Each structure stands twice: as structure tokens, then as C-alpha cells.
A and B are shown apart, each in its own frame.
Chain A
Amino acid sequence: MWLEWVITGLFGALIGAGEIVSQFRDEPDDALRTLPALGYLVFNAIASLFALAIIRIFGWTMGVQDEILSGWAQVVAAGFGAMALLRASIFNVRDGDKVIAIGPSRFLEIVLASVKDAVDRKRAEQRGVVVSQIMKDVNFNKAWQALPAYCFGLLQSLPQEEQDKFGKKIALLVNATMSERVKSLLLGLTLMNLVGEKVLSTAVTNLGDDILMKPLPVPTASDVSNPVG
């Protein structure tokens, strides 16, 4: 008997998990490990359990005579019933170009938006660390044309429209009054969004000294023995 309740709860949680995974295909693990996502799974599980309780209180057997089979039919009905009910909207309100659904689905939309924010924050931290590592020695003045051109050359498939858009962003940086370090970070961040971490890292390594800040000269033996020159 208790197994049916456990399965019903799991059913609801799995439906919620499937919904989150479908929205965050690139990083499903990250998405599922956030607090709003866990809350979303628990909420779906509770809704399924509540639906099963209602079904049992009213004694709906789903037309199945066998007691055991009827119990499992109720489990399936509770899982799908809760899913359908929670995702329903009673009516739609139009606000300008937007259509806002009013009903239980509105609540789920808000929770999913919190999951998206949490995942974005987590990704932003990771991206920030990776970009600062890759771009730490890159000189913006040397790199702003060569690095993107080389990355796009490696990719070979970036649409012209994307290239134009990217060019405009970089022009904004060229004329901006901010430190070279921040310009380099923004160049890396914007480029990584288009080409990914591996291509960016490979390009920085391959271009090497052509885009890196001038390394400090290594003192030679003659410099040490004759420091004044």
C-alpha cells in the first residue's frame, strides 16, 4: 500500500524533472541541483500525492474491478491528473504583445523562471573563472581583430549576421574608456559565447605571443654579473 504512495510521489517528481531537463538540455545536472529546481520537484510530488488522496477519498476505481490493479490505475491517474491540472490555465490576459496565462500554470512558470535565474548565476560564475584564466595575459590592442578572426576561421560556420553583430560589440570596446584588462575579459566572454571554451583556449594558445602582453625579459647571466649594463 505504501509503495503506491511512494511511486505516485516519484511519478510527480519525475515529470517535474523531465520538464526541467527539457528546458536546460546543455546543463541538466546543474539545473536539477539548484534549490528552486528541488522545490519544483517536491511541489510536483506533493501535487501527485494530493491527487491520489482525492481519488481514494472519492473511491474512483478507474473502471478496474481488480483491487490491486485498480490501486495502480489510481497511481497513474494521480500522476497524469496532477500534471494536467498544474499546467492548466483558466484564461489568458493580453498585455501588449504578451499573452499571460492565468491559472496554476502561472505558478509553475514563475518557479521555472527562478530555476533559469539560478542556473544562469551558476554558469556565470563558471564562465567568469574560465574566461579570466584564458584571457589573463591577452593584450586587447593586439587581440581584438586577430583573435576573433582566428576563432571564426577555426569554426568555419559562423553566419555573417552573427559576425556583424559581434563586430559591433567589439567596436564598442575599442572606443570605450576602460582598462585593457576589462576589455580583454569582455572580448573573451563575448567570444566564448559564440565559439565555446575549447576553441577560445586553443586560439589563444596558437596565436601565442602575437596577442599576449609583452613578457618580462628573463635576466641573463651577463645581466646578473653586470647589473648596470
Chain B
Amino acid sequence: MEQKYVPDDDFGSFLSSVQRAVNQSKSHEASMRIMHTLSQNKEERVAEMMTQVKVSWADFNDGLKYLEETGLVEMQDDDEGGLLRLTDEGLRWTQTMKMDSNDDDEGEH
């Protein structure tokens, strides 16, 4: 059996992954909307999330899949279509993202 050769790689995987992912901007918009919604409510049902983020089913699906791949959001399957919640890292992200809106609020006053 011929074995697949995997080259040593210090940072090449990162660079190719980030370049590839930057071009998927459509699913990123849906992903960020999901993150914003989850930052306000700790967890949300998939069906309710769909109505809140207001994107097409395909974009929502891509955005959610993308977030699960990054490990920022996890979905727990249940009888009602699944429950979405932030992982520990996702929670830290949204806490930092809130600094942006806090700055905006302070700027307005």
C-alpha cells in the first residue's frame, strides 16, 4: 500500500486555510449574526435562530456549519430540531465583541 506523504508544516496549513476561508464571506455574515444572537441569549433553538438571523436557509446552514467547525458554537440534538449554544471559547469571543458595542454606546453619549 502506498502511504500518502504528509509534509512537515509549521504554518502552511494555517495560511492556505485562512486564504480559502476568507473567500467564503457569505457564510461569515450568517455566522456573525448567529454569534450576535447567541451573545444575547445564552442558548437558542435552531428554528428560532433562523427567524432571528434573517438569512436564507442555505446561508444559515453554511454559517452554522462553519461555526461548528471553528469550535465557537455547538449544537445539541434533541426532539425539537436542536439547541445551539456558545462553547467556552465562543463565550469569550462574544464578551470581547461586546466591547465594541459598549464603545459605540459611550461614543454616542
Interface residues of A (CB under 8 A from B): 96, 120, 124, 127-128, 144-145, 148-150, 152-153, 155-156, 158, 160, 163-172, 174-179, 181-182, 185-186, 189-190, 193
Contact = CB atoms under 8 A, between A and B. Distances in A.
Interface of B: 6, 9-11, 13-18, 20-22, 24-25, 28-29, 31-32, 66, 69-72, 76-78, 88-89, 92-93, 95-97, 99-100, 103
Contacts of A156: 10
B39 to A, nearest CB: 12
Q: Chain B contact residues: over half helix, strand or loop, or mixed?
A: helix
A160 B92 CA distance: 24
B11 A163 contact: yes
Contacts of B14: 148-149, 152, 163-164, 166-167
Contacts of B93: 186, 189-190
By secondary structure, the A interface counts as helix
B22 A174 contact: yes
20 contacts: A124-B92, A145-B15, A148-B14, A156-B10, A158-B11, A160-B6, A166-B14, A167-B18, A168-B17, A168-B21, A170-B18, A172-B31, A172-B70, A174-B22, A175-B22, A176-B28, A176-B32, A186-B97, A189-B92, A190-B93
A166 B11 CA distance: 11
B10 A96 contact: no
Nearest to B98: A182
A148 B77 CA distance: 34
